[in-house]
Amino acid sequence: MRLFLSLICGALIGAAAARADEHVIVSGGCALTYFEKHKPKPHDKYWGNFIDAAAARIAQIQPAPGDQITWLVYRPAYAARGREENANLLAAIRLKATQTRARLFWFDSQPELLNHLNKGADRDRVKIARFEYFGHSNMLCLMFDYSNGLDGAAFASGILHQNDLGKINRAIFAKTARAQSWGCHSGESYSAEWKKRTGIPMVGAIGKTDYSRGGLPFLSSPNGKWSQ
C-alpha cells in the first residue's frame, strides 16, 4: 500500500513539474534626452516609464505554484541613458526586479530575446503562458532601441518586426497562453500577425498609449481602443 501511495505521489509531483509555466514580461528601452529634448513632444522625459509599468504589471500577476515570472530588459538603452544622467540605472532596475521577485534577464539584441523565448528553458516542460511588452512600438514592430542609438528610429537589431515573428517556435506556448503589447499602434497590424505566426492572440492598441501617469499605460488617442 505504501509503495502504491508513493507511486501516486511521485506521479502527481511529476505532473505538477510538467505543468510549470513561464510568464514573460519585456521592457524595451527608453530614448536618449540628447535626441528628444528639443522636440515639441519629447519621448521618455522620465527614464523609467517602461520599467515602472512592467513592475506594476508583475505585481498584478498571480502565478500558479511552480510558475516563473521572467523580466527581460533591453540593457543597451538603459546603460546609455545612465551615462547621460550620470546614474547607475542598471543597478536601479536590478533593485526593482528584486522587489518584484521577478527573475531579471538582460538582452542586448533581437536574437537574444528570441533565444530566450525559444530556448530559455526546457520548452517541453516549461511553456510560456504570458508574453507582455512595455516599450515603443508602431503597427509593424516592437522597438527596443527607439531614439536611443538613432534619432527617432531604431537599429535593426533593436526591433522585433512582424516579419520576424516566424522565428518564434509556436510550440513554446501553453495552450491557453495570452499576449499583450502595451506600446502604441500594435493592434493595427502587429497583433494579427503575431496570432498568425504563433497561434496565440495578442491584445494591442489602436492608436497611441501614454505612460506619463505612472503604472500601466493608458490609451491616449481619440477613439483609441484595445484590439486583438
- pLDDT at residue 45 in the model: 95
What is the grid cell recorded at 43?
Answer: 519621448
What are the residues facing 143 on neighbouring strands?
136, 159
pLDDT category, 228, cuts 50, 70, 90? confident
Give the residue carrying C-alpha cell 530588459: 73
Compute the chain's Rg from CA coordinates. 19
Nearest residue to 168 (alpha-carbon basis) of 128, 227, 213, 136: 128
Yes or no: say if 133 and 101 are a contact pair by the CB < 8 Å rule: no
Would the pLDDT of 130 be above 90? Answer: yes
| 8-state DSSP, 162 | G
* pLDDT band with cut points at 50, 70 and 90 for residue 18: low
pLDDT confidence bin for 20, thresholds 50/70/90: confident
For β-strands 136-137 and 141-143, DSSP reports them as: antiparallel
- Cβ within 8 Å of residue 99, ≥6 positions away: 55
Give 48-102 pLDDT, tens digit per residue.
999 999 999 999 999 999 999 999 999 999 999 999 999 999 999 999 999 999 9
Q: Taking the model in full, what pTM does it have?
A: 0.91
Which residue in 182, 183, 205, 203 sits closest to 194, CA to CA? 203
Across the beta sheet with 173-181, what order do the strands follow?
103-107, 68-74, 21-27, 127-134, 173-181, 202-206, 225-227
**Which residues are 70's β-sheet partners?**
24, 103
Least confident of 3-12, 64-73, 118-127, 206-215: 3-12
| Contacts of residue 208, Cβ cutoff 8 Å, sequence gap at least 6 | 184, 185, 219, 220, 221, 224
What is d(CA 188, CA 138) in angstroms, rounded to the nearest whole number?
9
Percent of residues in the chain assigned helix, strand, coil, to nearest 5 = 40, 25, 35
